[in-house]
Structure 1
Amino acid sequence: MSKSLFSNDFYWGAGSSAFQVEGGWDADGKGLTVADVNAFKKSEYQADTKVASDFYHKFEADINLMADLGLKMYRFSISWARIFPDGEGKINQKGIDYYNKIIDLLIERDIEPFITLYHFDLPYHLVEKYNGWESKETVAAFAEYAKTCYENFGDRVKKWQIHNEQNLMIRVNERMNIYEDKGNVEQLRIRMDHNMFLAYAKASDLCHELVDNGQVGPSISSTVTYPATNKPQDVMSAIWNNRLKTDYCIHTHVFGAYPDYYINYLDDVGLNLEITDEDYDVMKKAKVDFIAVNYYRTITTKYLEPTDKNLKGTKIKGFNEVDYNMYGYWEIIKNENLEETEYGAQIDPVGLRIALNDYYSKYHKPLIITENGLGTADELTKENKIHDGYRIDYIQSHIRAISEAINDGVDVFGYCVWSFTDILSSHQGFKKRYGLVYINRTDFELKDLKRIPKDSYYWYKKVIETKGSSIDER
């Protein structure tokens, strides 16, 4: 790409989340989170949140590496339980102080802080007290937490995400603390999802009230679905997979009301959306300044006929828990035209161009990619090098897709690689590495936690220096 389509103020960034990098899980008054509890359950076969990448103690060194890279933006999350150990009640000043240090150092190094308020780590006290997002008490607690963050950090932080991937999070039982013994699981899921929409609306309203020039938006897990054939039922199956896994969520955030097709779907499958006039008023106040897109793969579907045993709306596991199949709507199949990672995600940079065009044409909001990267094993050589040309290939092809979307007329203002350093993967620990920077540890041996830039780090550094014009150079 000899001529860059990226503007001079395009944000070249990288990202992380608190529970995946910080460690210090109970340091300086931090409370227990759902992410901690889930990690501890898996600690027999992978790493947990106790140390993770140890960003809690090594943030200065990591931010210096970000500055050396030339990073323009660092997208990271605040741990709600560092600010409010119980999710509500008394503020933990040491948590405020910690994030102030990070924000100040980022700004000192000319890196814009971009904060996510909630990334899968609900304070566990709220689970014990209210069953988490089932209760509007958690909505009120979240609004107070958001207000506290805006008041303490909003003088320097102007870009905010509310929830990371609400549309995906709601489909993962362990992240929502949903278990089969809690009655009608799908009805509970709808209630929790609704309360998260209310929390978003309140937090977005508070941001515009309390943060001068503050901007706020949802982060969504992108779903781009191809029909397996040109049969009309297969085409419709792809539309429904997009609608019920992603599109309904963006629509509700942007327009402050559920789309008709979603309401009708709930009626068809016997689910009840309990919504009050007050809820409608709250949701209508929601504001979206931009849409943050997390993109990794595309999906292919065909129509799945209901049966006497499996009525319309019956869900069964598909490719994984997140990408479930549903009778009367869709069944996920493998796309033979795409390569896939060792963990089964099909690699499709063209799908990113499709997603960006689709979201911009539907919602007319500026877009930023807040997660995109390759999770796989990396080999540390005897010379302490990581030759991850496969990661460069992945990032390169997706940046090229972004440039093509920009050329299509889509307003894309930033790209954040997932992730800056290796992180604690929720399901594969440190076997599945995403980082531009290697963390010298394994799941069960901390070693020296040394930071080692990979080949992809140096390649991305040049991309940033050339404002994207060097992405084809190796």
Structure 2
Amino acid sequence: MKKNPDHFPENFLWGGAIAANQAEGAYIEGGKGLCAADINRFTDKVNIKNKGNYEVTTEDIEFAIQDQEGIYPKRTAIDFYHTYKEDLNMLAETGMNTFRTSINWARIFPMGDESEPNEEGLKFYDNLIDEIRNNGMEPLITVSHYEMPLHLATEYNGWYNRKTIEFFVRYCEVLFNRYKDKVKYWILVNQINLITFESFNHLGIPADRVENLLEAKYQGAHNELIACARATKIAKEINPGMQIGMMLFDAISHPATCKPEDVLATVKRNQMEYYFSDILMRGKYPNYAYRFFEENNINIEFGEHDEEDIKQTADFFSFSYYYTRITDAESAKEVNSAYLNPQLQASDWGWSIDPIGLRTALNVYYDRYQKPIMITENGIGAYDKVDEYGEIHDLYRIDFLKRHIEQIREAIKDGVEVIGYYPWGPIDIVSCSSSEMSKRYGFIYVDKDDYGNGTLERKRKDSFYWYQKVVKSNGREL
């Protein structure tokens, strides 16, 4: 009788993941235009657990562009734009055989609506991708990771406007033609279901420009889904061997109790998290979405060929995994609502720690789609301290990752086809949600604080040497 594997496959992708906007800096170099993340301001006057990138108005955008006093950490980040060779060389010492990063849309099309790309921006990514490959790492490239050209938001209302479909597909076609022989794995949109926590960063819809913001978000997401399907078709025409993936932020919630009402509320809530992947993995609109839209007075306008376009599906499924939440019938009365499980320990940022939830998610997604899965983000944000000897002993990070990798191995034993694991921020980068440097994920410490002070010196943490052993042993030694 056939048996499931009890270990990681020999060709498993052990990697690390970053985003251009959180690492590169150089926000006006090389012909780059402003992108959505460039207006993310750091403030220490808000409780860290409540920080996030939610709604943005036209006034907010104009203020950020003119502001000469505020701190905008993603504009300088860790200067990866200039240090990528040294950083990739250091990361390669872990033995990781793959590396995920994004291409900043605004480096390639500074305004977003140009007919021709910015060659200087493309040359930077030529060199970056070559350097990834030269270090023995398979590139996994994200096409859109909160780096929409700001002009598309102010001029077109971002993804709410169907013209953005055309702009995005043109952008994708440029990349696919440029890197058709260098990049096998692509993710078109980072965490495509995040239309609340990363609302403006993701969709680029100024909240004051639309009458029904929730409807506008789902219309924007629909347009984005159509763009992804069209881009996938083009990729296959350019190089049939390219693997086009889609990515969710894992937002599966668990029932708060065993009451039937709470169980049903959880099922219904989770459906609208699967909604995005059901379309991109199955190639059609799920019936449950129509009832959701009707009950929430949402009308989605379809283009003439949309239903045919979405039949083009993704090759693999990927997701980020940080924490789980729970749902009850009362909380579910609000769209996308869920809350943290009080039975679980949490990080300093209030994110619950639930390694078993990762195994649960892997089984749920594989049962649903039966396609290869990558975990493209996983990690714990923590305050790291450099001791008197210049060392960083981050045993809490090792423990977190160890427990999650153990559950990935168990999922593989369950029969789940997991092909890659990418810890988030293998080198310290600016936090996505709060624009902090003090919220650190990396195996490599970067000397920079929340206010932009520091030498940018890189130091290996204890977790760096631990990950070396994990990769070298192919997950057998944790």
TM-score by length of 1: 0.91
Match of 1:20 in 2: 22
- Which structure 2 segments of 5+ residues have no match? 43-63
SS at match of 2:99: strand
SS at match of 1:194: helix
Counterpart CA distance in 2 for 1:117 and 1:329 is: 28
Match of 1:82 in 2: 107
* Residues 263-297 of structure 1 deviation map (CA, whole Å, 9 limit, x = unaligned): 1110122111111331112112x221100111111
Offset of residue 342 of structure 1: 1.2
Match of 2:234 in 1: 206
Counterpart CA distance in 1 for 2:255 and 2:71 is: 37
Counterpart CA distance in 1 for 2:23 and 2:334 is: 41
* Residues 167-186 of structure 1 deviation map (CA, whole Å, 9 limit, x = unaligned): 01465333234444231111
Summarize the alignment of residues 162-173 of structure 1 with structure 2, pairs less than 5 Å apart.
Answer: 162-169=188-195, 172-173=198-199
Match of 2:444 in 1: 437
2:424 matches 1:447: no
Candidates 63, 72, 81, aligned match of 1:56: 81
Counterpart CA distance in 1 for 2:206 and 2:31 is: 29
Equivalent residues of 1:238, 1:330 under 8 A apart: no
Counterpart CA distance in 2 for 1:418 and 1:329 is: 28
Match of 2:154 in 1: 128
Equivalent residues of 2:40, 2:74 under 8 A apart: no
Cα distance 1:186–1:328, how it changes in 2: closer, same or farther (>3 A)?
Answer: closer
2:296 matches 1:290: no
Cα distance 1:44–1:241, how it changes in 2: closer, same or farther (>3 A)?
Answer: farther
Equivalent residues of 1:303, 1:328 under 8 A apart: no
Offset of residue 333 of structure 1: 4.1
Counterpart CA distance in 2 for 1:70 and 1:4 is: 22
Q: May I ask how many residue pairs the two structures share in their alignment?
A: 447
Summarize the alignment of residues 262-281 of structure 1 with structure 2, pairs less than 5 Å apart.
Answer: 262-281=289-308
Cα distance 1:72–1:4, how it changes in 2: closer, same or farther (>3 A)?
Answer: farther
SS at match of 1:341: coil
Equivalent residues of 1:240, 1:329 under 8 A apart: no
Counterpart CA distance in 1 for 2:305 and 2:240 is: 27
SS at match of 2:267: helix
Percent identity of the aligned residues? Answer: 36
Please identify, of 254-263 and 114-123, the stretch whose mean Cα deviation from structure 2 is larger: 254-263
Counterpart CA distance in 2 for 1:360 and 1:393 is: 26
Counterpart CA distance in 1 for 2:459 and 2:336 is: 44
Offset of residue 420 of structure 1: 1.5
Summarize the alignment of residues 173-184 of structure 1 with structure 2, pairs less than 5 Å apart.
Answer: 173-175=199-201, 176-182=203-209, 183-184=211-212
2:475 matches 1:465: no
2:407 matches 1:401: yes
Please identify, of 39-48 and 54-63, the stretch whose mean Cα deviation from structure 2 is larger: 39-48
2:93 matches 1:93: no
RMSD between superposed Cα atoms in Å: 1.8
Summarize the alignment of residues 60-459 of structure 1 with structure 2, pairs less than 5 Å apart.
Answer: 60-89=85-114, 90-169=116-195, 172-175=198-201, 176-182=203-209, 183-244=211-272, 246-284=273-311, 286-304=312-330, 325-327=331-333, 332-426=338-432, 427-459=434-466
Counterpart CA distance in 2 for 1:144 and 1:429 is: 33
- Which structure 1 segments of 5+ residues have no match? 305-324
For 1:460, the aligned partner's letter is Y
Counterpart CA distance in 1 for 2:26 and 2:394 is: 29
Counterpart CA distance in 1 for 2:40 and 2:204 is: 9
Cα distance 1:329–1:271, how it changes in 2: closer, same or farther (>3 A)?
Answer: closer
Equivalent residues of 1:34, 1:120 under 8 A apart: yes
Offset of residue 19 of structure 1: 0.2
TM-score by length of 2: 0.90
Equivalent residues of 1:154, 1:212 under 8 A apart: no
SS at match of 1:150: helix
SS at match of 1:166: coil
Equivalent residues of 2:110, 2:149 under 8 A apart: yes
Counterpart CA distance in 2 for 1:334 and 1:67 is: 36
Offset of residue 46 of structure 1: 5.3
Counterpart CA distance in 2 for 1:94 and 1:179 is: 30
* Residues 300-338 of structure 1 deviation map (CA, whole Å, 9 limit, x = unaligned): 11111xxxxxxxxxxxxxxxxxxxx54277853442321
Equivalent residues of 1:439, 1:449 under 8 A apart: yes
Counterpart CA distance in 1 for 2:35 and 2:307 is: 30
Match of 1:35 in 2: 37
Please identify, of 127-136 and 414-423, the stretch whose mean Cα deviation from structure 2 is larger: 127-136
Offset of residue 448 of structure 1: 1.5
For 2:23, the aligned partner's letter is V
Equivalent residues of 2:38, 2:72 under 8 A apart: no
Counterpart CA distance in 2 for 1:362 and 1:155 is: 31
For 1:150, the aligned partner's letter is F
Counterpart CA distance in 2 for 1:117 and 1:385 is: 36
SS at match of 1:369: strand
Counterpart CA distance in 1 for 2:334 and 2:120 is: 52
Equivalent residues of 2:437, 2:450 under 8 A apart: yes
For 1:361, the aligned partner's letter is D
For 2:347, the aligned partner's letter is T
Offset of residue 453 of structure 1: 1.1
SS at match of 2:194: helix
* Residues 393-451 of structure 1 deviation map (CA, whole Å, 9 limit, x = unaligned): 11001100100000000000010000111111131411211111111011224321011
Offset of residue 65 of structure 1: 0.8
Equivalent residues of 2:392, 2:462 under 8 A apart: yes
Equivalent residues of 1:24, 1:54 under 8 A apart: yes
Counterpart CA distance in 2 for 1:55 and 1:388 is: 23
Match of 1:318 in 2: none
